[in-house]
């Protein structure tokens, strides 16, 4: 039988008294649930004051209601609401929530609804470019997985860059940006392309001058950044706040992982849980429902086992809440060219960084083909094949790259697992820019 008892614990320096239930048989699964309940109580008790929002769930990126260009009157009404200027207590959704303590940039650049909305407008506004034809979304579009289905990024006057457009979601768990990590923050990354001659082809001074001529932007910058007004730095702060709000929702993999804490409970455990802890029992029913509605295929489950296995080792680099170690690795991509892209080395001048590029996320990767820094692999199947052969030999190849000797079914299973890491994107309005 399972009885209800009181326990004391200390977590993170806080003394907790909580009620839980334990089996006389001391089921380890029950113990894990008790500790989990205590941790949840502690996190709730130490939460930062302010309106709590869950990124990817709460409507932060929908734009202002209505249609057509934003009028000065609409913007004034929006800015007059104090709730739009309150610093948000940001939470991450299931799956990504494993990185709750690892969010980047919020202390330096707190998120508010007004700042996120201003960043949304700037992100989609082609007027930031020299010829008013290219916006941030031109290379990082919501309808193409916040990247582009072209091998390389394409800027003003149809100029082609030398690298594939990286995704702009889940950046809240990332500090250094670009494939080579040359931008030290999301704010720095946000304004870099504006002055890049083959991307937006503008200058920072000209961009700021243009924004000052638009009354709707002038109103917002003066209200949101009263000590700065319109500067290139405040442009970066706003765009970065918007990009941090772009977070992927739970995937079938996340729902399956969330249900695992209940998987070992037998009918007697469940019956006692229902009687002694109705709230936890409700969590169980919800987790069971979600995993049933978002199932992983048998192939994907096999692929998960391979992905995290020592033999295959995908999780050596694709690790953590966002399945990315935020490090740089030479996989051999493009290193057989006469003049290969040396990646991180150009930034650090460290020999071992030659040909090394930043690990991309696996989350929602099914939407962002083609793959790798040079867009040379068109499908996830080609990506798996590249790893299976151990990469392309070169003097700086990562020691993690070794032939995997996968059979045909195992290759398919790995692809199916990556597809099972697909969650929803938040709703994002691309229109409604200041007139």
Q: Which fold has domain 58-244?
A: Cytochrome Bc1 Complex; Chain D, domain 2 (1.10.760)
| Contact of 420 with 304, CB cutoff 8 Å | yes
Determine the average pLDDT of the residues in 345-364: 98
Quote the Cα angle for 62-65-67, to 5°: 105
- CA proximity to 79, closest of 237, 222, 209: 222
394-423 pLDDT, tens digit per residue, is: 999 999 999 999 999 999 999 999 999 999
135-177 pLDDT, tens digit per residue, is: 999 999 999 999 999 999 999 999 999 999 999 999 999 999 9
pLDDT of residue 231: 98
50-78 pLDDT, tens digit per residue, is: 789 999 888 899 999 999 999 999 999 99
Which band of pLDDT confidence, cut at 50, 70 and 90, is reported for residue 33?
very low
In sequence order, what are the residues at sequence separation of 6 or more whose Cβ sits closer than 8 angstroms to the Cβ of residue 154?
138, 139, 148, 160, 161
121-143 pLDDT, tens digit per residue, is: 999 999 999 999 999 999 999 99
pLDDT > 90: percent of the chain:
87
* Res. 236: pLDDT tops 70: yes
* Res. 251: pLDDT tops 60: yes
- CATH 1.10.760.10 applies to domain 301-419: yes
pLDDT of residue 107: 95
Distance (Å, whole) CA 261 – CA 291: 13
* Res. 4: pLDDT tops 60: no
Distance (Å, whole) CA 358 – CA 395: 18
Q: Which two tokens stand for residue 164?
A: 């594939």
pLDDT of residue 45: 38
pLDDT of residue 31: 40
Helix, coil or strand: residue 172: helix
Distance (Å, whole) CA 41 – CA 246: 27
pLDDT of residue 5: 36
* Res. 38: pLDDT tops 60: no
In sequence order, what are the residues at sequence separation of 6 or more whose Cβ sits closer than 8 angstroms to the Cβ of residue 74?
64, 66
Which band of pLDDT confidence, cut at 50, 70 and 90, is reported for residue 49?
low
pLDDT of residue 57: 84
| Mean pLDDT of all residues belonging to the chain | 90
Determine the average pLDDT of the residues in 232-258: 97
379-388 pLDDT, tens digit per residue, is: 999 999 999 9
Checking DSSP bridges between strand 89-91 and strand 328-329, what pairing results, if any?
Answer: unpaired
| Contact of 182 with 373, CB cutoff 8 Å | no
Which band of pLDDT confidence, cut at 50, 70 and 90, is reported for residue 24?
very low
* Res. 286: pLDDT tops 60: yes
Lowest mean pLDDT among 18-32, 307-321, 332-346, 417-431: 18-32
Distance (Å, whole) CA 216 – CA 127: 14
Domains of the chain: which residue ranges?
Answer: 2-45, 58-244, 254-295, 301-419
| Contact of 89 with 54, CB cutoff 8 Å | no
Count of CB atoms within 10 A of residue 417's CB? 25
* Res. 23: pLDDT tops 70: no
């Amino acid at each position: 039988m399972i009885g209800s008892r009181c326990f004391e614990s200390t977590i993170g320096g806080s003394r907790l008294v909580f009620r839980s239930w334990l089996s006389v048989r001391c089921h380890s699964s029950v113990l894990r649930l008790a500790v989990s309940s205590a941790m949840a109580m502690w996190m709730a008790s130490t939460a930062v004051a302010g309106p709590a929002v869950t990124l990817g769930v709460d409507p932060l990126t929908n734009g202002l209601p209505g249609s057509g260009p934003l009028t000065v009157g609409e913007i004034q009404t929006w800015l007059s609401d104090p709730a739009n200027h309150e610093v948000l207590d940001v939470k991450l959704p299931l799956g990504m929530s494993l990185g709750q303590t690892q969010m980047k940039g919020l202390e330096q650049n707190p998120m508010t609804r007004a700042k996120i909305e201003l960043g949304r407008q700037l992100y989609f506004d082609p007027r930031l470019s020299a010829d008013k034809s290219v916006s941030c979304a031109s290379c990082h579009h919501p309808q193409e997985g916040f990247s582009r289905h072209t091998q390389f990024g394409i800027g003003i006057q149809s100029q082609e860059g030398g690298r594939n457009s990286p995704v702009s979601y889940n950046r809240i768990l990332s500090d250094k940006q670009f494939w080579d990590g040359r931008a030290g923050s999301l704010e720095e990354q946000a304004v870099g392309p504006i002055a890049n001659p083959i991307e937006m082809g503008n200058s920072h001074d000209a961009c700021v001058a243009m924004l000052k001529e638009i009354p709707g932007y002038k109103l917002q910058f003066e209200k949101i950044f009263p000590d700065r007004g319109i500067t290139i730095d405040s442009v970066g702060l706003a765009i970065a706040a918007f990009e941090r709000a772009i977070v992927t929702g739970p995937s079938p993999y996340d729902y399956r992982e969330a249900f695992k804490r209940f998987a070992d409970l037998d009918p007697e455990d469940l019956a006692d849980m229902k009687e002694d802890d109705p709230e936890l029992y409700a969590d169980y029913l919800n987790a069971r429902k979600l995993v049933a509605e978002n199932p992983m295929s048998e192939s994907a489950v096999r692929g998960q086992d391979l992905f995290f296995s020592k033999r295959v080792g995908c999780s050596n680099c694709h690790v953590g809440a966002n399945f990315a170690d935020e490090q740089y690795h030479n996989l051999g991509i493009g290193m057989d060219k006469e003049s290969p892209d040396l990646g991180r080395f150009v930034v650090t001048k460290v020999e071992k960084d030659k040909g090394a590029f930043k690990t991309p996320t696996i989350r929602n990767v099914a939407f962002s083909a083609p793959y790798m820094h040079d867009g040379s692999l068109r499908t996830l199947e080609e990506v798996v094949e590249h790893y299976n052969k151990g990469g392309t030999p070169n003097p700086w190849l990562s020691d993690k790259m070794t032939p995997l000797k996968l059979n045909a079914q195992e290759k398919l299973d790995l692809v199916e697992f990556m597809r099972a890491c697909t969650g929803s994107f938040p709703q994002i309005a691309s229109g409604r820019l200041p007139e």
